[in-house]
Amino acid sequence: MIAYIVQRFLQSVLVMAAVGFVAFSLFAYVGDPITIMLGQDYNETERARLAAQLGLDRPFYVQFFKFAVNAMQGDFGISYRLARPVSAVIRERLPATLELSLVAAILALAVGLPMGVYTGLRRDSWLSRVFLTVSLIGVSLPTFLIGILLILVFAVILGWLPSFGRGQTVMLGWWSTGFLTASGLKALILPSITLCLFQLTLILRLVRSEMLEVLRTDYIKFARARGLRDRAVHFRHALRNTLVPVITIAGLQLGAIIAFAIITETVFQWPGMGLLFIQSVSATDIPVMAAYLCLISFVFVVINFIVDLLYYVVDPRLRIDRGAVGGHG
Amino acid sequence: MAEATEFSARQGVATPPPGVLKRAFDSDVFYSFRHSPITMLAAAITLLGFIGAIFAPWLATQNPFDLRTLNLMDASLPPAWIEGGEAKYLFGTDNQGRDVFSTILYGSRVSLLVGVGSVLLALVLGVGLGLLSGYVGGTIDAFIMRVADVQLSFPAILIALLIDGITRAILPREAHDAAAVYVLILSIGASGWVQYARTVRGSTMVEKNKEYVQAARVIGLHPVAIMLRHVLPNVMGPVLVIATIHLAVAIITEATLSFLGVGVPPTQPSLGTLIRIGNNFLFSGEWWITVFPGAALVIMVLAVNLLGDWLRDALNPKLR
Amino acid sequence: MSAPATRANRPLLDVRNLHVEFPTRRGRLVAVDDVSFHIDAGEVLGVVGESGAGKSLTGAAIIGLLEPPGRIAGGEVLLDGKRIDNLPAEQLRRIRGRQIGAVFQDPLTSLDPLFTVGQQLTETITTHLDLSESEARNRAIELLREVGIPGAERRIDHYPHQFSGGMRQRVVIALALCAQPRLIIADEPTTALDVSIQAQIITLLKRLCRDHGAAVMLVTHDMGVIAETADRVAVMYAGRIAEIGPVADVIQRPRHPYTVGLMGSIPKLDRAVPRLVQIEGSMPRLNAIPTGCAFNPRCPKVFERCRIERPELFPVGGSAAACWLHATTLAEAARG
């Protein structure tokens, strides 16, 4: 058990280090920060002074070490575009993105999973066909277009819901939440639907195909041959086995929601990290890009780690593995 | 004796050897194609989309990016069938007097170019790395698959954004605009290779231990020749399925990047750029500037997705 | 139907003119073609044949677990004189496990990997019998002990992957027996096991079924297993029964040329056979079964009638064979 966790943890650290290196390379070698900060007009003394101040004259590994130490303390330097510390900017934007992603993730799971199970079990019913058709359309509709259509219908034509922003927020310490006001909750509806729809269809299709796969296995046939009730065969045996592979991919998909929030936030002018990232890409604001990259990877690594632990809980073959039979797909 | 009796036993049901065309027509894949009207419709739409894109200069009523053909008097006209619309502007015009129908034709040209280009790039990259990984194994395999794992945990759109951001920082602005299409192909293609590589690797590992590959190795065929001639044909089915579905994803990704403003420049708009431009006029009621390019995009992607779904089921009958 | 129809006591399982077919776009494939046999209470019937001969499908059809699009296209299956092939799904489910137990080929894949063997046993017991959770558990431990799993009290809480293949097949047998069914359908129960373990499992299966008074339909392609275990044997070929009768008769005096070939291909220790006999050719595919007798293209004794008319089962000695060579007596009787 402990060996398993340690191994997974070390893997996570390794991935984080690799991403950190990419981020640092961005930081150090892409574009010329001095040109970006000083503009085209500067003399050599000014340049040297700034280079020394930013530590750019140090050897490569010293710079990387310094970057890593700073990054671990949440210090990613100063945003070129906003001329403020990156950490402060991100802290302002973080709650908006996390709240939106959380609602979207819960929606995607709570709706996608039952729909997937249903279409897997009743594969020939008309409702399954409807679900599948809708899911295919869902996969074919780009997220931004869903957002635009929702805005067109519910904000422009019907005027029921706001088309942009978070509504009123309440500060809980440094965390600004939209959960506590009516306008904040109303503002969440369209963006969270937009954000969850694509993941929802993916989860639906994934659960369905895994379910069909499991229903063909010998142990399900044998469970039927033992005369177990359909309910037990479907929801005890088939569903549990379906969840094992679904957990991994669903976990990754939920992580992807935070990254996909970039699109939704742009459409709804939602003041989160995604919008910040897009603005930074357009303005080549490298420190913010690097920080965002590190933060997103951190979220992914954490989710991956949790998924691995969940796997461990769900699959006894990992828990008590005697080496002979084992592993997972 | 045994052969003779077996032959006579089969004779009753055997058909004369058909020609290649006849055999293709008779194959299971084609059978399921002919018996699925939706698939045939999807194929027709896809074909129409490609024809429209390729022959845009001849099909469009105007070149929307030639300023001389534009007339500001005709700006913001609604579609032809709505009060105030004009017959020559079927889907209406935008704020600069460009015919929306023509912009869609030109836009899908860029969209499909980027889509097909990035699929080809990802395919070559993924199939190549997958073959290498599966056939050689060992450290190379472990390394490639580890990179694939890490990359797979990041959404393609994020990787594409990142690559785009980096090239933006490296290249001067004008050069970036000029190279935008290639940058997009590079970023979308590079973010999509993993699936090909994984599938091909898996199949290669199965195939390489089969006797015919072993035999090819024994008679001294070069490994590359073995892979290309013997292993590759066996993995093409699943690769074709992935490529079809990837085409839909690539078109969406391109549209999304362009919508986010980091894709192709407005002087050479794709469908995503058109939607982005039109989005600004949504609130003033000129919905057609957004809705028609959006519908064109969705219909095209839906058709390709339907083809991909059908192909997957047709090549893998046990899934049905 | 052959002679057994006139029996005074009713058979436990009576399969009459069973047809199983698979609709495909190139027409229907008939996988089980007009198969009739019966099993008496406590009897072991071996069903033998090459793979694809329809033995497993016959078993699946009896317990109503044919995989779509496969379906029963005709005939009847009677359990205790009552038809079960046309029962609604829910009633058929109550019969599975309770009246008819099943043992599948591969013990490695027959058990749900995510549940302990105890959970799988108790759920089966409480589904069919009116026992409390703890009573069911005690019964489960007892069963595990009975199938020869050492340390049953401890092993009951283990997961399938913690058992070896042979031990898992013992668990599967315990699962098949746990609601005291009167018939066990064992589909190739030893094929996936090591040779050294096969005999143990067969002996166990036979002993347990005798102790519990359960009849067995033993599907296998291993004539040796049949010889040791079965009371009667049915030889299947291309979806049809070629020969059926008491094991001793069929083995020592095979009547159907296919059975003759089958017996000739088994090495014997007690007799010096110069060389093993091989049947030429291979079993036809389902879409290319010849008219007349399905075996006619491979039959060394084939004659005109075999190619035209399909033989029914004719009684010969103690058994019955579907071969025109043995038609004389009956055919004359029927026409006379």
Measure B2 CA to nearest chain C CA, in Å: 6
A20 is a domain residue: yes
Per residue in B111-153, pLDDT tens? 899 999 999 999 999 999 988 888 888 888 888 887 887 777 6
Q: How far apart are CA A191 and CA B281, in angstroms?
A: 20
* Nearby residues of A112 by Cβ (< 8 Å), 6 or more positions away: A199, A200, A201, A202, A203, A204, A207
DSSP run (H or E) holding A170: strand A170-172
A79 is a domain residue: no
**Is A140 in contact with B283 (Cβ distance < 8 A)?**
no
Measure A306 CA to nearest chain B CA, in Å: 14
Q: How far apart are CA B178 and CA A252, in angstroms?
A: 35
The whole-number average pLDDT for the span B186-201 is 86
Residue ranges in chain B assigned as alpha helix (H): 2-11, 20-26, 28-34, 37-54, 56-59, 100-136, 138-152, 156-170, 173-190, 193-208, 211-218, 223-226, 232-259, 271-279, 288-315
Identify the residue with better confidence: C268 or A112.
A112
C223 is a domain residue: yes
**Is B305 in contact with A136 (Cβ distance < 8 A)?**
yes
A294 is a domain residue: yes
Q: What confidence score (pLDDT) does residue B120 get?
A: 94
Q: What confidence score (pLDDT) does residue B280 get?
A: 78
pLDDT band at A321 (very low <50, low <70, confident <90, very high): very low
**Is A217 in contact with C109 (Cβ distance < 8 A)?**
yes
**Is B158 in contact with A262 (Cβ distance < 8 A)?**
yes
C301 is a domain residue: no
Q: Are residues A309 and A185 in the same domain?
A: yes
Measure A213 CA to nearest chain B CA, in Å: 8
The whole-number average pLDDT for the span B208-214 is 77
Q: What confidence score (pLDDT) does residue B260 get?
A: 83
Q: How far apart are CA C239 and CA C233, in angstroms?
A: 15
Q: How far apart are CA A66 and CA A56, in angstroms?
A: 11
**Lowest-confidence pick of A18-22, B82-86, C170-174:** B82-86
- Enter the tokens of residue C334: 């029927």
**Is C25 in contact with B31 (Cβ distance < 8 A)?**
yes
Measure C133 CA to nearest chain A CA, in Å: 16
**Is C288 in contact with B1 (Cβ distance < 8 A)?**
no
Q: Which residues of C touch A (CB under 8 A)?
A: 63, 65, 93-98, 101-102, 104, 106, 109-116, 123-124, 127-128, 158-159, 161-162, 172, 175-176, 179
Whether B301 has its CB under 8 Å from any CB of chain A: the answer is yes
Whether B11 has its CB under 8 Å from any CB of chain A: the answer is no
Angle formed by the axes of helices A60-72 and A2-29, nearest 10°: 120
Chain A residues in contact with B294 by the CB 8 A cut-off are: 145, 148-149
**Lowest-confidence pick of A54-63, B155-164, B286-295, C327-336:** C327-336
A78 is a domain residue: no
Q: Give the dihedral of Cα atoms A60, A63, A65, A68; nearest 10 deg.
A: -130
**Is A266 in contact with B260 (Cβ distance < 8 A)?**
yes
Q: How many folded domains does chain C comprise?
A: 1
Whether C290 has its CB under 8 Å from any CB of chain B: the answer is yes
Q: How many folded domains does chain A comprise?
A: 2
Q: Are residues A12 and A135 in the same domain?
A: no
**Is C280 in contact with B12 (Cβ distance < 8 A)?**
no
Q: Is B129 left (phi over 0), alpha (psi -120 to 50) or beta?
A: alpha
Identify the residue with better confidence: C6 or A189.
A189
Give me the half-sphere count of Cα atoms (radius 13 Å) on the Cβ side of residue C166. 14
Q: Is beta strand C82-83 parallel, antiparallel or unpaired with respect to C27-39?
A: unpaired
The whole-number average pLDDT for the span B26-47 is 79
Measure C129 CA to nearest chain B CA, in Å: 37
Mutate to test the interface with A, among B111, B143, B154 (most CBs of A within 10 A): B154
pLDDT at C303 over 50: yes
**Is C281 in contact with B2 (Cβ distance < 8 A)?**
yes
Closest partner residue to A225 among C96, C113, C128, by Cβ? Answer: C96
Q: How far apart are CA A36 and CA A50, in angstroms?
A: 12
For C61, the closest chain A residue by CA position comes to A225
How many CB atoms within 10 Å of residue A269?
12
Closest partner residue to C287 among B5, B8, B13, by Cβ? Answer: B13
Q: How far apart are CA B232 and CA B204, in angstroms?
A: 8
Measure B89 CA to nearest chain A CA, in Å: 23
The whole-number average pLDDT for the span A314-326 is 57
* Nearby residues of A133 by Cβ (< 8 Å), 6 or more positions away: none
pLDDT band at A319 (very low <50, low <70, confident <90, very high): low
The whole-number average pLDDT for the span C170-196 is 88
Q: What confidence score (pLDDT) does residue B276 get?
A: 83
- Enter the tokens of residue C148: 């020869």
Sign of the CA dihedral running C264, C267, C269, C272: positive
Chain A residues in contact with C95 by the CB 8 A cut-off are: 227
pLDDT band at C15 (very low <50, low <70, confident <90, very high): very high
For A12, the closest chain B residue by CA position comes to B150
Q: Are residues A258 and A163 in the same domain?
A: yes
Chain B residues in contact with A277 by the CB 8 A cut-off are: 161
The whole-number average pLDDT for the span C146-152 is 89
Q: What confidence score (pLDDT) does residue B22 get?
A: 56
pLDDT at A3 over 80: no
Go through C289-310 and write b for each residue having 16 or more CB atoms within 10 A of its CB, e for each that does not: bbebbbbbbbbeebeeebbeeb
CATH code of the domain covering residue C85? 3.40.50.300
pLDDT band at B10 (very low <50, low <70, confident <90, very high): very low
Q: Exposed, middle or buried, A20 (CB in 10 Å: 0-12/13-18/19+)?
A: buried
The whole-number average pLDDT for the span C133-148 is 91
Q: Are residues A112 and A46 in the same domain?
A: no
Q: What confidence score (pLDDT) does residue C219 get?
A: 92
Q: What confidence score (pLDDT) does residue B30 get?
A: 73
Measure A143 CA to nearest chain B CA, in Å: 8
Query: What's the pTM?
Result: 0.80
Inter-residue contact C254 to C263 (CB < 8 Å) = yes
Chain C residues in contact with A239 by the CB 8 A cut-off are: none
Closest partner residue to A148 among B152, B248, B290, by Cβ? Answer: B290
Measure C280 CA to nearest chain B CA, in Å: 6
Inter-residue contact C232 to C43 (CB < 8 Å) = yes
Identify the residue with better confidence: B40 or C270.
B40
pLDDT at B8 over 50: no
**Domain closes at, from A72, A99, A124:** A72
Mutate to test the interface with C, among A123, A212, A221, A222 (most CBs of C within 10 A): A222
Nearest to A32 by CA among A13, A12, A14, A54: A54
A156 is a domain residue: yes
Query: Residue C213 is part of which domain span?
Result: 13-249
C63 is a domain residue: yes
Q: What confidence score (pLDDT) does residue B21 get?
A: 52
Q: What type of residue is C220?
A: T
Q: Are residues A259 and A297 in the same domain?
A: yes
Share of chain C above pLDDT 70, in %: 91
How many CB atoms within 10 Å of residue A181?
15
Residue ranges in A141-181 assigned as alpha helix (H): 143-150
Whether A315 has its CB under 8 Å from any CB of chain C: the answer is yes
Phi and psi torsions of C15, nearest 5°? -105, 125
Chains with at least 3 CB pairs less than 8 angstroms from chain B? A, C
Identify the residue with better confidence: A81 or A238.
A238
**Is B6 in contact with C297 (Cβ distance < 8 A)?**
yes
A90 - beta bridge partners? none
Q: Are residues A50 and A158 in the same domain?
A: no
Q: What type of residue is B304?
A: V
Q: What confidence score (pLDDT) does residue B218 get?
A: 81
DSSP run (H or E) holding C334: helix C327-335
Per residue in C69-108, pLDDT tens? 888 988 899 998 889 988 898 899 999 989 999 988 888 8
Query: Residue A27 is part of which domain span?
Result: 2-72
pLDDT band at A138 (very low <50, low <70, confident <90, very high): confident
Share of chain B above pLDDT 90, in %: 6
Q: Are residues A199 and A233 in the same domain?
A: yes
Q: What type of residue is C329?
A: T
pLDDT at B303 over 80: yes
Residues counted in chain C: 336
Q: How far apart are CA A66 and CA A61, in angstroms?
A: 8
Phi and psi torsions of B84, nearest 5°? 95, -10
- DSSP states along C220-274: ES-HHHHHHH-SEEEEEETTEEEEEEEHHHHHHS--SHHHHHHHHTS--SSS--S
Chains with at least 3 CB pairs less than 8 angstroms from chain C? A, B
Q: Are residues A42 and A139 in the same domain?
A: no
